[in-house]
Amino acid sequence: MENRFTVTIHDVHGVRQFNLHKIIKKIMLYVGIAGVVLTIAAVSMVIFLKSSLDTTELKKVEMERAIDLLQARNEQLGAAIDVSEKELLAKQAEIAVVSDRLHDVEELIGLTPVQIDMDKSSVKIAQLTYEQVEALFKYIPSGSPIEYKGITSKFGYRTHPITKRRELHRGSDLRASMKTPVYATADGVIEYAGHHKKSGYGRLVILDNNYGFKTYFGHLNEITVKSGTYVKKGEQIAYTGNSGRSNGPHLHYEVRFIQRTLNPYWFIKWTADNYRQIFKKETKVPWQSLITAITKDIETRQATAALRSLQKGLLSRAR
């Protein structure tokens, strides 16, 4: 009986006694201790989770404040960018107006553009290398920006079909149906890509090419490039449309050299087979100077490539 103990229960029915083994007593003690430990652990866990939740909530509030601050700064920056873009557009419009007035004054006083002495330069031009010709057609606008189907309105003075006023038509209107793909006619950086209200060109892309040339693509339906991006000759930049002051789907295409408008027709028809013709057709461009600059660039690139090749050779020998 030493290993047993008695449990006495008093109730309305009388007294009941139960003889239990001492192991049961130990088990009950251990269960009680475990229950107390679990209760303490649960309470501790609840306190820890509540503290973690409070910390997380505080961090969430701080992050929301930081996000609100960033959004406010972005809005301020966006407003500043909008103001800068408007000022830039205004300046570009002023430059265009001044350029047109200068063109009018030149014609009025009979001032002819600088002519190239073909007798002196023809020998050098006739001896252009393959690299020089390749660079000309890569960096200077050439070929048609769309599938060529003719010109509906030529470069020069005309009566505007909508305003009915006589004014200088700075480019050539190329015949095209709606959403015809438009391609870059030379390598360059996108200077402007968006809706241009003041000029009447509607959706407009201005491509800043090399050596002082720029190309304009107007009345577009959709633009597929962004300002500041670099594009190569033949890369698609837009789709033709009827936006702005336009009386039907077409592409308004301009070629400019140092802000002076040139007749795009000679550049559209300019190919490797007849590359000498443009030197006589377009006399507003100092071709010999450009060829000299292109030649120097080619020589610089070749020298740089040779130097890099030499450096690689020396490094490989050193290893």
- Per-residue confidence at 3, pLDDT binned at 50, 70, 90? low
Residues 147 and 287 in one domain: yes
For residues 82-102, one letter each, b for 16 or more C-beta atoms within 10 angstroms of the residue's C-beta and e for the rest, the string is: eeeeeeebeebeeebeebeee
Parent domain of 248: 118-303
Position 92 in a domain: no
Percentage above 70 pLDDT, the chain: 78
pLDDT at 25: 67
Total domain count for the chain? 2
Position 317 in a domain: no
CATH number at residue 202: 2.70.70.10
Residues 167 and 290 in one domain: yes
pLDDT at 177: 94
Position 101 in a domain: no
Q: pLDDT of 160-180, one tens digit each?
A: 776 677 778 889 999 999 999
Residues 66 and 173 in one domain: no
Give Cβ neighbours of residue 218 (< 8 Å, ≥ 6 apart): 171, 196, 199, 201, 202, 203, 204, 244, 251, 252, 253, 254
Q: pLDDT of 274-308, one tens digit each?
A: 888 899 899 889 998 899 899 898 888 888 878 88
Residues 163 and 298 in one domain: yes
Position 102 in a domain: no
Distance of CA 317 to the CA centre of its chain: 43
Residues 42 and 153 in one domain: no
**Contact of 272 with 233, CB cutoff 8 Å:** no
Q: pLDDT of 31-75, one tens digit each?
A: 888 888 888 888 888 888 888 888 888 888 888 888 888 888 888
The SS3 assignment for 258 reads: coil
Q: pLDDT of 213-241, one tens digit each?
A: 999 999 999 999 999 999 999 999 999 99
Rounded distance, CA 229 to CA 142, Å?
20
